[in-house]
Amino acid sequence: MAFAISIKADSSPIEAILNELTNFDTYKDDLYVEIGGYGVASTQERFFNQHNVDGNPWKMSWRASLQGREGMQGGQTGRDNGDLMNELHFNLHPNGVEWGSNKTYAHVFHFGAHITPKNGQYITFAVGGQYRKVKEVNIPSRTFLGINAEDEQSILNIVGAFIDEHLLRGT
């Protein structure tokens, strides 16, 4: 046996709102674009403020520490050339939006990593014009993607304003 609920309104304002709800598909991409734009901006702010999703400071990278001591431009973790922060983007989906990065190293920055040499005893790399030779590298997790309580509230405000503008006022 099928179960269904029908809503029939005798009031024209209620009927108008219900009609607008049926037209949600017409407007939803606008909502998702606004949420995606917010998500990217909020995530980029974490790079400026050097903190993770929960507001805890990131551990400063060796490169940032070196540049900060030498008075060089930079001195912030994840901001050497700004590629990761500047390449954040969002994608619309039929029923939502996602944001993140397509940089191959984004997951290492977010989750951290333990790197050992594939061949030989050492990993050799250059940072700040200096070469280093080490047996292993431990990159700490510096989460930058996610939604915290402030983000959640901001997204709810975006949805509320969207409902008010498009569904309640019928624009």
Cβ contact 49:56 at 8 Å: no
> Which pTM does this prediction carry?
0.76
More confident residue, 103 or 79: 103
Confidence band for 148, pLDDT divided at 50, 70 and 90: very high
Summarised one tens digit per residue, pLDDT across range 13-35 is: 666 666 666 677 788 899 999 99
What CA–CA distance (Å, rounded) separates 137 from 125?
11
Structure tokens belonging to residue 10: 């005798």
Other beta carbons less than 10 A from residue 49's beta carbon:
12
Cβ contact 38:155 at 8 Å: yes
170: left (phi over 0), alpha (psi -120 to 50) or beta: left
- E-only strand ranges, the chain: 89-93, 96-100, 113-115, 123-127, 130-134, 137-139
Single-letter amino acid code for the residue at 147: I
User: What's the confidence (pLDDT) of residue 6?
Assistant: 43
